[in-house]
Structure 1
Amino acid sequence: MSPTAPALRVTATSPSRCRRCGNRIDLYPRTDQRPIALHPAELTAAHVPESCHWHLSGGIAHPHGDGSAWCRIPHAVLCPRRTPTCRMSPCLEAVRRQLAVRTRRLTDTGAFTPALPVGGSAPGADTDVPDRPVVQMLLCRYVAERPVRGLRCVAQTRHHRCTNPVLAPTGPAGTWRLLPTGPKRGQLALPDTPMAVYDLGHLPYGEQLRWRTQHCSAHAAAPSVADLALAGSQPFAPLLHAAHIHTRLPHPPARRHGRG
């Protein structure tokens, strides 16, 4: 196989995974800095439609082949929770089936909970709530893996992953606020447009740490309990996560008690 450039990673212990199917993805920037999720393995170029050929050069993803017998392919083409966007060869169908089996296994063991469909919402949920909100805690900003109300504890119970939400039914919670986008140190600047942020900065340190580790109130009080999954939040980067910047507060706007 041809050499591949290093993918964009959050940390070495926090691999990127598709929010729809739970399978691993590799994130790379395109020439315009927009990220694209690629399937982590190279495929035989002859088995992939030319319109789906991608290759890496200098850590940048390019939407065409590089003349070799191998190519990369967008994960969206193979994701078992998406409708195929191109002609599927027997080889691609086989990979897609393998990913579907893995998704079922991850779901059955409680290691993965599928995200809501794009544009969908849970019954009784507020409208305009970001599907991946920017959350401010411990003096940093993170992009959550799903809406605030949908964040689920990652701790392990006797037989499966905890089903409790991170957002406690009672007690303190965050507040939706419009805050400047503001680049962090070492990041390129974007126009300083206000964006909707679920702010937890006013909560006690222990509560902010509970959100950062993605634990329910019960498991936050039992630190010896092991985790069955990784916390799904990623450090917020304005350019990388531009698609998740919302310039309006959820409706109804910032509730008095900060319910997300």
Structure 2
Amino acid sequence: MCPNTASTGRHWDGSPRTTPARRPLRVAATSPSRLLRCGQSIRCRLCGNRADVYPRSDQRPIALHPHELATAQIPEPCRWHLSCGIAHPHGDGTAWCRIPHTVLCPGRTAPATAQLSPHVEAVRRQLAVRSRRLIDTGAFTPQAPSAPACEEQAADVRRHARPVVQLLLGRYLADRPLEEIRCVAQTRQRRRCLQPVLAAHTAAGRWTLLPAGPQRGQLTLPATLMAVYDLSRLPYAEQLRWRTQRCPAHAAAPGAADLALADWQVFDPLLHAAHIHTRLPHAAPSRRREA
């Protein structure tokens, strides 16, 4: 009787044996949750096209175009590559590279510092056509600029588009206005939570003028006062909720994973001098009511 030896590519019952592909993903050592160090897909608020957000070596996020482009057709200042989930601002010697989404975004003007090649211009036109298709089908609505009552209010809105927030004995620069900071937690439908961090039933901070002095070894600057949204008077748990960028519901459920990177950047008076303002906003941030 001839023995029936099973093939190494199949199980004992004849079903195919599949080996899961290994992915170079890992959890960041400083991550407070189960957020993997990989590209987090987002939709651009200006054009509606998809972009992948990766952390840089200084932990600041950057949005890259989801597809690789030929290195020979990309200007040298616009070349980026990924290594172990970290984005680096130069090529890695291969024939392909990544490019920042801000260079290709049709909702922004092309950067004057980089001489865009015809191939990059063609990609910008393709994204513009895709944005128009999304708008026509109702899948995307571009953000309409607000119409303030006077020019002083308009300047005030632009002045505090990226406010400085003080919490947990440090200062952080927000990526957007306080009212637009969204929760980064994942819902049960595997989507990002739509609730804002600035909740109606929680204690809010206050705008105040604080010295723009050095923080933790930073260089000394002239003694000036800057507008800061102060949260240091709130309880520790509430400050931690703002730092992890979670709504009150997901702050009470620590088991929920993060679906996006937090938008905070450690505030540096030298690097972020353009966001130092000596005037307080006219009105405190309005709290949205929960749906």
* TM-score category (smaller protein): 0.5 to 0.7
Q: 1:134, 1:196 within 8 Å by CA — same for their partners in 2?
A: yes
User: How many angstroms apart in 1 are the aligned matches of 2:281 and 2:121?
Assistant: 40
Structure 2: state its 5+ residue gaps: 1-29, 32-36, 80-88, 90-94, 132-139
User: How many angstroms apart in 1 are the aligned matches of 2:116 and 2:78?
Assistant: 19
Q: In the alignment, does 2:247 pair up with 1:216?
A: yes
Give the drift of 1:216.
0.7
Aligned length, in residue pairs: 214
Q: Secondary structure at the match of 1:92?
A: helix
Structure 1: state its 5+ residue gaps: 1-10, 29-36, 62-68, 104-112
Same amino acid, percent of matched pairs: 57
Q: In the alignment, does 2:121 pair up with 1:93?
A: yes
Q: In the alignment, does 2:169 pair up with 1:139?
A: yes
User: How many angstroms apart in 2 are the aligned matches of 1:185 and 1:115?
Assistant: 40
User: How many angstroms apart in 2 are the aligned matches of 1:235 and 1:246?
Assistant: 17
Give the one of 74, 79, 95 matched to 2:105.
79
Give the drift of 1:251.
0.8
Q: 1:115, 1:146 within 8 Å by CA — same for their partners in 2?
A: no
| Cα RMSD (Å) | 4.5
| TM-score with structure 2 setting the length | 0.57
Q: Secondary structure at the match of 2:246?
A: coil
Give the drift of 1:242.
1.4
Q: In the alignment, does 2:187 pair up with 1:157?
A: yes
Q: Secondary structure at the match of 1:201?
A: coil
Question: Which of the two has higher C-alpha Rg?
Answer: 2
Give the one of 178, 183, 196 matched to 1:148.
178
Give the one of 220, 240, 251 matched to 1:189.
220
Give the drift of 1:93.
2.9
Give the drift of 1:99.
7.3
Give the drift of 1:215.
0.7
Given residue 265 of structure 2, which amino acid in structure 1 is its aligned partner?
Q
Q: Secondary structure at the match of 2:176?
A: coil
Given residue 205 of structure 1, which amino acid in structure 2 is its aligned partner?
Y
Highest RCO, 1 vs 2 (Cα 8 Å, sep ≥ 6): 1
Q: Secondary structure at the match of 2:237?
A: helix
CA-to-partner distance for each residue in 1:196-239, whole Å, 9 max, x for gaps?
11100000111101111111111111111111111111111111
